[in-house]
């Protein structure tokens, strides 16, 4: 049964309101394209309202700013309790709106609870230094919240992105305006209701549903927004950095795409490496920024590996996200489905060997067969551009030196992986990979304690890890005259 959609308005200053224009848009089911709900199309007037609410909530005498840091942490822990209480509902709503397989969504959401608690725990551990400066100075630093933050979310893992950005910003003491992706507005609104229930003061969190050009650009160009944190495409990431530079030099955190290489050496255990490589690229229908979308396999095991990879892909169960045995659900929408099918066609045209899959499944919804290409060459489009779909591209290599060179030969740098039993190879690869995360003998394993972000065009800054609040803080130096002798 479909989960009830309880919140379909903008959330501004703890109130549920319509867009000023009265305009709305539909959010569609990835399973069959039907309308799930209709939400307001927020635009500049709504962003202006939300930003002024967030600005008022950030005033030095506001309830939020006068809270002890530990009390901020307790409120966020209360939010974690409510999230845990509603975990099943939130999982169902997320899966309903974005097509993530439900069993996997439950797993993600359990991790999300830990993430909230970890980030909440950072609230009262923000501290500066006392510094032995030259001269007659007593000096210390204060670390203070940046101000109003604009948080722009993608559609692939909306709840996790809401948490990474909102809870970190709040732990730092900032206030926020969230713009969810047009495809997946619903869970951000459901989480806003929990923020309110947790007792977080009005205006601290605001959610404005709407489109990128419109709500998104109004946020990135707003003079009272001090920082933007964004997850999405590299293309939009660049626009956001430009907008940030144009108006008030906003601080920017960008989590962008990838074309992540995974290296399988001759000595790897294929029973482990084949499934790991498959999950690395097929998880969530390939709609993950860290997808292992360039799979380099060493010549000695290449044929055997390709054979097993094809067998693995063929056995993957594609179906309705709610079915307990489903491993792969639909792509987010028709646009993304057609984009992925377009890449598959280009792969065929450019001479990559299509060994399984390659087609849409059925005529309703946005399902694509798990697809494996072998004999992919570095200069083919499918080896260069982010596909964001269930497409495994296998490339052959002879030695690690060569694989490393080819792996790094991309404008992206989000993640990389290697399977080998040779510790020197593993450590050399980890050292020289141009990527924000390197996995050795596993792929995709993340945890909130680990900093996450990209080299090169995969982004700017890091989320998670013990230093993640720094991205929402300014450092203030205080220098006081204090003669050395009195």
CB of 27 to ligand NAP, least distance (A): 10
**CA proximity to 421, closest of 298, 281, 259, 293:** 298
**Quick check: is 174 catalytic?**
no
| Helix intervals (H) in 358-409 | 381-384, 400-408
Of 195 and 256, CB closest to ligand NAP: 256
Is 168 in contact with 448 (CB distance < 8 Å)? no
Among 137, 239, 444, 466, binds ligand NAP (CB under 6 A): 239
167, 195, 289, 337: residue in contact with ligand NAP (rule CB under 6 A): 289
Q: Taking contact as CB under 6 A, which single stretch among the options 53-61, 90-98, 227-235, 370-378 is the one that binds ligand NAP?
A: 227-235
Site stretch for ligand NAP (CB under 6 A), options 176-184, 361-369, 404-412, 442-450: 176-184
**Residue 27 lies near ligand NAP (rule: CB under 6 A):** no
Tokens 């930003």, located at residue: 51
Residue nearest to ligand NAP (CB): 212
CB 459 within 8 A of CB 436: yes
C-beta of 400: minimal distance to ligand NAP in Å? 28
Determine if 43 is a binding residue for ligand NAP (CB under 6 A). no
- How near is the Cβ of 346 to ligand NAP at its closest, in Å? 14
Question: What tokens were used for 350?
Answer: 């450019």
218 near ligand NAP (CB under 6 A)? no
Query: What span, in angstroms and rounded, lies between the C-alpha atoms of 165 and 397?
Result: 39
Neighbour tally for 398: CB within 10 Å: 11
Closest CB 161 distance from ligand NAP, rounded Å = 8
Q: Residues 162, 164, 170, CA angle at the centre, nearest 5°?
A: 85
386 belongs to the binding site for ligand NAP (CB under 6 A): yes
Locate 471 and state its tokens: 């991205």
DSSP string, 73-128: HHHHHHHHHHHHHTHHHHHHHHHHHH---HHHHHHHHHHHHHHHHHHHHTGGG---
Applying the rule CB under 6 A, the residues between 252 and 271 that interact with ligand NAP are: 255-257
The DSSP result for 123-140, as a single string, is: GGG----EE--SSSEEEE
- Measured from the CB of residue 291, what is the shortest distance to ligand NAP in angstroms? 9
CB nearer to ligand NAP: give 232 or 436. 232
What's the min distance (Å) between Cβ of 212 and ligand NAP?
A: 2
Using CB under 6 A as the binding rule, whether residue 216 contacts ligand NAP is answered as yes
Among 59-67, 178-186, 264-272, 431-439, the segment contacting ligand NAP (CB under 6 A): 178-186
Continuous H helices in 261-328: 270-282, 302-314
Q: Find the helix packing angle between 102-121 and 87-98, rounded to 10°.
A: 120
149 is catalytic: no
Contact set for ligand NAP, span 135-164 (CB under 6 A)? 152-156
Catalytic center residues = 255, 289
**Which residues contact ligand NAP by CB under 6 A?**
152-156, 179, 181-182, 211-213, 216-217, 220, 231-233, 236, 239-240, 255-257, 289, 386, 388
């Amino acid at each position: 049964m479909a989960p009830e959609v309880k919140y379909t308005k903008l959330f501004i200053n703890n109130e549920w309101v319509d867009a000023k224009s009265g305009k709305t848009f539909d959010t569609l089911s990835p399973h069959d394209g039907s309308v799930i709900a209709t939400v307001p199309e927020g635009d500049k007037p709504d962003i202006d309202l939300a930003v002024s609410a967030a600005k008022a909530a950030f005033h030095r005498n506001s309830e939020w700013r006068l809270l002890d840091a530990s009390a901020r942490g307790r409120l966020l822990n209360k939010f974690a309790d409510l999230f845990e209480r509603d975990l099943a509902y939130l999982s169902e709503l997320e899966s309903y709106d974005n097509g993530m397989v439900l069993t996997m969504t439950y797993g993600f959401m359990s991790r999300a609870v830990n993430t909230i608690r970890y980030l909440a725990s950072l609230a009262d551990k923000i501290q500066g230094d006392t510094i032995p400066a030259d001269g007659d100075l007593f000096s210390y630093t204060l670390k203070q919240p940046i101000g109003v933050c604009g948080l722009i979310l993608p559609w692939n893992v909306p709840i996790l992105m809401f948490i990474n950005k909102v809870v970190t910003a709040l732990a730092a003491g900032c206030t926020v305006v969230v713009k969810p992706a047009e495809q997946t507005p619903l869970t951000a609104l459901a989480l806003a209701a929990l923020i309110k229930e947790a007792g977080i003061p009005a205006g601290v969190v605001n959610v404005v549903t709407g489109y990128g050009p419109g709500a998104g650009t109004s946020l990135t160009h707003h003079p009272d927004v001090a920082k933007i944190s964004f997850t999405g495409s590299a293309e939009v990431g660049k626009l956001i950095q430009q907008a940030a530079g144009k108006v008030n030099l906003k601080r920017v955190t960008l989590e962008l795409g990838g074309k992540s290489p995974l290296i399988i050496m001759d000595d790897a255990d294929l029973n482990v490496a084949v499934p790991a490589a498959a999950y690395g690229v097929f998880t969530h229908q390939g709609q993950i920024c860290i997808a292992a979308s360039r799979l380099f396999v060493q010549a000695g095991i290449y044929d055997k590996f390709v054979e097993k990879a094809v067998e693995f892909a063929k056995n993957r169960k594609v179906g309705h996200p709610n079915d307990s045995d489903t491993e792969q659900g639909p792509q987010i929408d028709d646009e993304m489905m057609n984009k992925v099918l377009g890449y598959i066609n280009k792969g065929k045209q450019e001479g990559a060997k299509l060994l399984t899959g390659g087609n849409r499944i059925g005529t309703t919804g946005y399902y694509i067969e798990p697809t494996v290409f072998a004999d992919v060459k570095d200069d083919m489009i499918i080896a260069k551009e982010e596909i964001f779909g269930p497409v495994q591209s296998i490339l052959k290599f002879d030695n690690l030196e060569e694989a490393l060179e080819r792996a790094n030969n991309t404008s992206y740098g989000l993640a990389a992986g290697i399977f080998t039993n040779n510790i020197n190879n593993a450590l050399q690869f980890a050292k020289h990979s141009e990527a924000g995360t390197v996995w050795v003998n596993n792929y995709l394993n993340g945890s909130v304690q680990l900093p996450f972000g990209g080299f090169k065009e995969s982004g700017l800054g890091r989320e998670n890890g013990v230093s993640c609040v720094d991205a929402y803080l300014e450092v203030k130096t205080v220098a006081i005259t204090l003669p050395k002798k009195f």
